[in-house]
Amino acid sequence: MPLHPEIKQMLEQLSASDWKEVSTLTPKQAREQSRYFAGLRVFPKPLPDIRTTDFYISTKDKQNILLRLYESMDVTPQTIIVFYHGGGFGVGSVDQYDTVCRWMASDLNVLVISVGYRLAPEYTFPTQIEDAYVALEWVDKKHNPLKTRNLVVAGDSAGGYLATMASMLARDKHGPHIDWQWLIYPWVDNDFSRLSFKNYGEGFPLSTETIKWYATNYLGKNPQKSTYPFFPMHAANFHDLPKTYIISAECDALYDEVVAYAETLVKADNSVHYECIPGVIHGFLNQYSVPVSFNATTQMFERFKELLHSE
């Protein structure tokens, strides 16, 4: 399916605006632009009545990061979703995903805890991975002490990277038992030779140059060897990971690597539910002002709810 007309119109409006290619900006400018355009988005219906609570937890190196908890006012959720926002590890925030997390908590009747991991280039690899795992451990200990709730790690784009890395760490460290990893167009590789980069690497907000810019800021110019793989596709072991719901956007530079990651997980004998959303682009989760993106996310929420209840 070609690019949906509503997405095409959105891109034309973006091109005619003051938006600038992220790779031409400084990190500060990129964050300012991200916040500005996030502020222009309008949710198409009244936001649900959700209780929120902010917590600060200590990281591995004794710094504080923000966690924001979202819960329904009248439902006792049986599922906890630890959510990692997207933004190439360099932009995005708990605040910018506030609407998405309220929506998720309401539509799925779950407890959502959004993680404010530290951003690059001020904090480089593997800080974000370690922040993600510390948050997961804290949530499991604080909100699932009896292990009676489903525990899910979820994220979009760079947040999907962190979700699946947290799953690998939990397996290797014999840490929290994760029931599902929900990966929304996750950034899992740095192979720019894939066909989807040729098809969708120019003329879209997430361009090839922007991805390279994010990667350089995240890894640094001379990344040091680590016990962690630089990208999930570089991992040594793909076995014994949680049940996976993985979603690609059809018109996305990352499309091919998302498909490849789903296939890799299947080959390692994991339970994988893969879906491609036709006609939409990277970032549709936050593009709820556009009807086709709003509908795609609504359907994705419904599908994941079905998967949770089918156990």
Active site residues: 157, 252, 282
3-class DSSP assignment, residue 82: strand
DSSP secondary structure, 128-164, as one string: HHHHHHHHHHHHHHHH-TTS-SEEEEEEETHHHHHHH
Give residue 164's identity as a one-letter amino acid code. T
Nearest alpha-carbon partner for 232 in 158, 152, 156, 164: 164
- Give the total residue count for the chain: 311
What's CA 69's distance to the chain center, in Å? 17
How, if at all, do strands 79-84 and 50-58 pair? unpaired
Residue 89: left if φ>0, alpha if ψ -120 to 50, beta else—which one?
A: left
Indicate if the alpha-carbon torsion angle 189, 252, 279, 113 is positive or negative.
positive
SS3 at position 63: coil
